[in-house]
C-alpha cells in the first residue's frame, strides 16, 4: 500500500512538496483553509530570485530602519500599536544582523538557493511548466552614485557566492530598460534572475499537475496536529479527525499556532505586502525592475504589470492600508515616465517572515512524522521546489542536500 501524507497548505510550497512526494510513491492529501494558492502565492512579484542570498537582517540595516518606520508609507512600516507584539521578533532581527550571524545566514541561504534552482528546473520540466518561466534577469536601479557605492558590500558578498552581475550606466542602462527617468543614474543587472508568467497561474498549473497524478484536496481549516499511534492525527475546524502516516506543515503565515501545539515556539510574524497590477500594455517593461531604496519592484506578467513590495508588520488581523499600494504606484510613475496608472487591481497578502530570513524546514519536536516547511518570507515561490525536495528526503530518511540544522524550528532558543 502507498504511504499516506497530509500537506497542510496548498500554496506554492505545499504544492511543490506534493509534487516531490507523489514522485516517491506517497499518497498525497492537500488540506487548504481557503482556495488553492490564494494566499501569498496569489499576488507575489513572480520572481525566481535564486541570486537573492542576502538576509534582510544585515549589518547597518538598523541605521536605516528608524527613518523607514517613521514614514507610514515608506519601505518598512510598523504601526505603533503593534510594537509591543513585534518587539521580541525585532530583538531577534537585531541579533541576526550581527556580522557573524549575517555571514552564516548568507552561506545557508546560498546553499538553499543552489538547491532551489536545480529543483525548480527539474520540477517545471516534469510538470510541463517550463514555458511559464522567463529568463529576462533583474535590473536594480539607483538614484545616485552614492547609492550604488553603498550597495557594493552586498554585491561583493554575492560575488563570493558565484553570482553574476553587471553594474550599468548610460547607454547600457537604457538598453536594458528604455524610458527610465533621468533621476536613475545607474543600475545592477543580474542575468540569472528569472520570473514566472503569473504566480497564481503558475501555482494553479502545478496544482492541476499534482491532481492529475493523484493528489486529493480537502477544503478545511486544520485546528490541531498531534502524534498518534503509527502516524499523525489532524483535527479540523468542524471537529473531524483525520489520521495519516505523516504530515507536512506548509501553511505559511498560519503555521505558527500549529507549530506551537506541537511544542515548537517559532518567532514567525507577517510582512504584509501590497501591490497594484496594472493592465497589460501599461508600460514597455523589458524585465523586472527593483527599486531597493524604496522597497518595491515592478514586474511584467502575462496578466499585466505588477507594482508592489515593501514591508508592513501588522499581523493577520489588522485591516489593509492600501495607501501603501498607492504610494508605490506614485513612485513607479515618477521613475517610469509614461506609465499608465489607471485600471489597476490592488492586493495585500501575508508573507510568513522569520528574523534571520531563513525558512523553517525540518522535523517537529513532537514527531519525526511531522515535517515543517514554512516561513519563507519573500522567497516562497523561489524556494518552493527546493523545499519540496528536502521534505521528500526527510520523510524517506535520506540526508538532504542542504544541512537542515540551520533551518530547524528550535534555532532561536
Q: With bands split at pLDDT 50, 70 and 90, how would you rate the model's confidence at 72?
A: low
Mean pLDDT for the stretch of residues 40-47? 94
Whether residue 337 is contained in a domain is answered as no
Determine the pLDDT at residue 82. 86
Whether residue 393 is contained in a domain is answered as yes
Torsion of the alpha carbons at 325, 276, 270 and 106, rounded to the nearest 10: -100
Determine the pLDDT at residue 73. 72
| Res. 75: pLDDT tops 80 | no
Mean pLDDT for the stretch of residues 136-150? 96
- Taking alpha carbons only, the member of 273, 281, 255 closest to residue 362 is 255
Residue 124: domain span: 1-56+98-132+193-267+354-413
Contact present, 138 and 47 (Cβ < 8 Å): yes
- Bigger pLDDT: 413 vs 140: 140
Per DSSP, the chain holds a count of helices (H) and strands (E) of: 11, 22
Whether residue 6 is contained in a domain is answered as yes
Mean pLDDT for the stretch of residues 166-170? 97
Mean pLDDT for the stretch of residues 165-183? 97
Q: How crowded is residue 183: how many other Cβ atoms within 10 Å of its Cβ? A: 12
| Res. 311: pLDDT tops 90 | no
| Res. 61: pLDDT tops 80 | no
| Res. 400: pLDDT tops 60 | yes
Q: How crowded is residue 80: how many other Cβ atoms within 10 Å of its Cβ? A: 8
Determine the pLDDT at residue 64. 66
Contact present, 216 and 201 (Cβ < 8 Å): no
Determine the pLDDT at residue 259. 97
Of 81-85, 171-175, 255-259, the least confident: 81-85
Q: What pLDDT digit, counting tens, does each position of 253-303 carry?
A: 999 999 999 999 999 999 899 999 999 999 999 999 999 989 899 999 999
Whether residue 336 is contained in a domain is answered as no
CB proximity list for 210: less than 8 A, separation 6 or greater: 15, 18, 19, 22, 28, 30, 127
Whether residue 334 is contained in a domain is answered as no
Q: What pLDDT digit, counting tens, does each position of 331-370 carry?
A: 999 999 999 999 999 999 999 999 999 999 999 999 999 9
List the CATH number of the domain containing 222: 3.50.50.60
Q: Which long-range contacts (CB under 8 A, 24 or more apart) does 257-260 make?
A: 258/8, 258/222, 258/224, 258/225, 259/360, 259/364, 259/372, 259/374, 259/409
Q: How far apart are the first and last CA of the chain?
A: 40
Whether residue 214 is contained in a domain is answered as yes
Q: With bands split at pLDDT 50, 70 and 90, how would you rate the model's confidence at 30?
A: very high
Give me the number of domains the chain comprises: 1
* Average pLDDT score over the chain: 94
Q: With bands split at pLDDT 50, 70 and 90, how would you rate the model's confidence at 391?
A: very high
Amino acid at each position: 500500500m502507498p504511504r499516506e501524507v497530509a500537506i497542510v497548505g496548498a500554496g506554492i510550497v505545499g504544492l511543490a512538496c506534493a509534487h516531490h512526494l507523489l514522485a516517491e510513491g506517497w499518497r498525497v492529501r492537500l488540506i487548504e483553509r481557503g482556495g488553492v494558492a490564494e494566499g501569498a502565492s496569489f499576488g507575489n512579484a513572480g520572481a525566481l530570485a535564486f541570486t537573492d542570498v542576502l538576509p534582510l537582517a544585515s549589518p547597518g540595516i538598523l541605521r536605516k530602519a528608524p527613518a523607514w518606520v517613521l514614514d507610514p508609507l515608506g519601505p518598512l512600516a510598523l504601526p505603533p500599536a503593534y510594537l509591543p507584539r513585534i518587539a521580541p521578533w525585532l530583538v531577534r532581527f537585531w541579533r541576526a544582523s550581527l556580522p557573524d550571524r549575517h555571514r552564516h545566514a548568507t552561506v545557508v541561504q546560498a546553499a538553499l538557493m543552489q538547491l532551489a534552482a536545480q529543483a525548480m528546473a527539474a520540477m517545471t520540466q516534469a510538470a510541463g511548466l517550463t514555458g511559464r518561466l522567463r529568463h529576462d534577469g533583474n535590473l536594480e536601479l539607483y538614484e545616485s552614485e552614492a547609492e550604488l557605492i553603498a550597495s557594493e558590500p552586498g554585491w561583493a558578498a554575492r560575488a563570493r557566492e558565484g553570482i553574476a552581475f553587471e553594474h550599468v550606466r548610460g547607454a547600457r542602462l537604457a538598453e536594458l530598460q528604455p524610458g527610465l527617468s533621468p533621476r536613475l543614474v545607474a543600475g545592477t543587472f543580474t542575468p540569472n534572475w528569472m520570473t514566472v508568467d503569473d504566480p497564481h497561474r503558475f501555482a494553479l498549473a502545478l496544482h492541476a499537475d499534482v491532481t492529475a497524478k493523484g493528489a486529493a484536496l480537502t477544503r478545511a481549516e486544520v485546528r490541531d496536529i498531534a502524534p498518534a499511534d503509527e502516524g499523525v492525527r489532524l483535527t479540523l475546524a468542524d471537529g473531524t479527525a483525520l489520521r495519516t502516516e505523516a504530515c507536512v506543515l506548509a501553511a505559511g503565515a498560519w503555521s505558527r499556532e500549529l507549530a506551537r501545539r506541537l511544542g515548537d515556539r517559532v518567532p514567525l510574524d507577517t510582512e504584509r505586502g501590497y501591490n497594484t497590477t496594472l493592465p497589460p500594455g501599461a508600460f514597455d517593461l523589458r524585465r523586472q525592475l527593483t527599486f531597493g531604496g524604496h522597497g518595491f519592484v515592478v514586474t511584467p506578467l502575462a496578466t499585466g504589470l505588477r507594482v508592489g513590495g515593501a514591508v508592513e508588520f501588522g499581523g493577520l488581523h489588522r485591516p489593509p492600508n492600501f495607501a501603501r499600494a498607492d504610494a508605490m504606484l506614485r513612485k513607479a510613475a515618477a521613475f517610469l515616465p509614461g506609465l499608465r496608472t489607471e485600471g489597476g487591481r490592488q492586493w495585500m497578502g501575508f508573507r510568513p517572515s522569520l528574523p534571520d530570513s531563513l525558512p523553517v524546514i525540518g522535523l517537529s519536536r513532537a514527531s519525526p512524522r511531522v515535517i515543517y516547511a514554512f516561513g519563507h518570507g519573500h522567497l516562497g515561490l523561489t524556494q518552493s521546489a527546493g523545499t519540496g525536495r528536502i521534505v521528500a528526503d526527510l520523510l524517506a530518511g535520506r540526508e538532504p542536500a542542504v544541512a537542515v540544522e540551520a533551518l530547524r524550528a528550535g534555532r532561536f532558543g
